[in-house]
Structure 1
């Protein structure tokens, strides 16, 4: 272990951290360009074969960036896409970005350091960074934006140069160190452990924008909100935002275990997918499933959903369009079962429904979501923690859908449970509520 890492773990002062040299190399979970094509003709694209753990060169820091000593990170499905090189190799993203030249050229490497969620300690700041300093405890938001692009000033997610950090950029969070733009930084919630804090930004920010933001569904008090995957990472945060905002969360889950989690999070109604029967993209099957689902919701809640929180994609999208009430909104941020959606457009146009595309969250939305987390109003969806050496196993569990909520990875943190600097708030909230999936 290098001197700087050891000092961070020991809780050294900012002065000490600044006095120690930045190592020339660091440990990182990364892909190698030479592996692209390894899964050609292979049915089981096991991500453990392509996620490598080892040393990579330390990049130079741009003026608007900080170097974060990563205490913990969290897995996201974009790491699975990256490690299977689907729908295309992420080296294509790095190559395209690198063509801009300047600081962007650093990202085009024969290796790709993964990870879009992290929490840690700032150990260096670029010359242009004003609001952050060495020693600050931070969580890292995912949106990597160009603050000199006009559209970014309107909404960071609309900018043409908006990228998902650690997916469409290099030097991500599954490592001892991460290179982070200052516009990605959030203050770490003081009552959370490193791994709990690392699990929040991507999914919590995405769910906030989808539901609460005026750029998403703009949820109101009393709205009935149908949440697919209500015990998952995205869905679990969605349920909490609906409940906090005075809405009525209706969760769909796939097992008894997940049903219990959804109820614990605050779902007013939990529906097991088996109650709905067959679901597919076939038009006749879609309408039949939509009728069965709508009947259950109307029987138990009394009305159709104002909002459908959709991220499953091809398999469920037609049902989501069908089941939303007249004038309702289907808000979507992903398609884990396929991107090519089919639905009966009559149920959209003749019933005046809206489909809203949503992606990530801008810094203000991330700040608002993080403020709720800091105040203990939204809880981490962390369900499991792995040591860094098991990063591949953690990714494999997500690939096989063997997990609940979010899966954490310890990077520099020597053990789970560290990083809490406000134990009094944690005690007031209650240990069983702080991380509900860890005690489920």
Structure 2
């Protein structure tokens, strides 16, 4: 690995130099163990600790297949699917790997007693398989997490509809929280030149997801002048939705859970901010009963902030806790677009407020290659910025996932893989200087963690 890192950091190694590098037989990776899939059985989700389930192992370099690439991973980041993987919810990810393994001989590579997790990376191409022409060894890249086979006609209008669509590093093996990753070549995109390795690794999954959900015609199709309600507006997903709304001429109404997170939204340029904790919104009276009076109070607060207007779009991802309120506060003819259910998958709402007011619920999931490319292009042009708050070494991936699971973070939490320290990999200093304040506005010190119980 030292020779690979030396070539990357030299700044002068050629394609031929990278192609001549000898690949190691193994590499370090953040893994889950199949033998431990029931380790949290009977525990509440909030009590499950990723620091116990995520291991740092030395694993063999996988076989390279047609249309694939091996990437030297300089940095990665933690997404909520990393948390789901680490707490084995809603099902252990080994079920995905087993299903993939039954598909083909190449699929069988993924069905292992360990799972290398992670759905983001920035790094350098080391090798490409047969049929790859667009990417050469030595190219600096980021990867989006859509893995598709495209053998069915269903996926050729929108690749997210491919019956064999999977999320890399979650439903496949050999993910990005490692020193080497295996991806399909059509996951690769150019690394933004003004960003460091860890900054470039942060946007991939959440930026592309927010782009499809809010901007794309496959999602809400946001336009200038729209009022957009954004739940968790300072978080990994919501922070990009807030930026897209501001950049696209819409008005974000940012919902957060603390004064500190409200201030982050204001630093991004948002003016309409609701601190749920300070204003005491409780949308559920108990586990089974919602409180429509709170929906109404919430809707009134939104109109105070918008000059009397309701929201055109609700950017939904908390799910059960907020969905009833989301349907209620959306204007007549408006859109609730949802991509996740971090507070629970069973959504309940009063359907009278949907059908009688001609509202729409749209489901979106990640993004296709074109949407991911456009989202990355906006990052590369300095129109949208990474929301990286803190960075951990690969050895502390469990701690990084713990922060996200316990909502101790803002924006995204990064992980250094091969990169020996933060701040490396910047190739365009002039563009970086132009946007330095925006690039760093989420930066916070790491919190003091609770000790993991034995």
TM-score, normalising length: structure 1? 0.97
Alignment-derived partner of residue 294 in structure 2: 289
Residue pair 2:150, 2:164 contacting (<8 A) in 1 also: no
SS in 1 for 2:228: strand
Structure 2 Cα separation of the partners of residues 284 and 81 of structure 1: 26
Aligned pair count reads 439
Alignment-derived partner of residue 280 in structure 1: 284
Alignment-derived partner of residue 407 in structure 2: 401
SS in 1 for 2:106: helix
Alignment-derived partner of residue 102 in structure 1: 105
Alignment-derived partner of residue 62 in structure 1: 65
Residue pair 2:283, 2:292 contacting (<8 A) in 1 also: no
Listed as ranges, the gaps of 5+ residues in structure 2 are: 446-454
Alignment-derived partner of residue 260 in structure 1: 263
Listed as ranges, the gaps of 5+ residues in structure 1 are: none
SS in 1 for 2:240: helix
Alignment-derived partner of residue 320 in structure 1: 326
1:158-178 deviation digits (Å, cap 9, x = unpaired): 111110100000000000000
Structure 1 Cα separation of the partners of residues 94 and 321 of structure 2: 29
| Shift in CA distance, 378/439, structure 1 to aligned 2, threshold 3 Å | farther
Which of 422, 428, 438 is 1:422 aligned to?
428
Alignment-derived partner of residue 4 in structure 1: 4
Residue pair 1:195, 1:410 contacting (<8 A) in 2 also: yes
Residue pair 1:432, 1:439 contacting (<8 A) in 2 also: no
SS in 2 for 1:313: coil
CA RMSD of superposed structures (Å): 1.4
Alignment-derived partner of residue 380 in structure 1: 386
Is 2:146 aligned against 1:143?
A: yes
Structure 2 Cα separation of the partners of residues 287 and 114 of structure 1: 40
Residue pair 1:9, 1:412 contacting (<8 A) in 2 also: no
Deviation at 1:32, TM superposition (A): 1.0
1:206-251 deviation digits (Å, cap 9, x = unpaired): 0000111001001111000000001001100001101111101110
Is 2:313 aligned against 1:310?
A: no
Structure 2 Cα separation of the partners of residues 108 and 6 of structure 1: 33
Alignment-derived partner of residue 360 in structure 1: 366
1:78-133 deviation digits (Å, cap 9, x = unpaired): 11111111111100000000101221111111110000011000011112111111
Alignment-derived partner of residue 450 in structure 2: none
SS in 2 for 1:196: helix
Structure 2 Cα separation of the partners of residues 9 and 400 of structure 1: 35
Is 2:34 aligned against 1:33?
A: yes
TM-score, normalising length: structure 2? 0.94
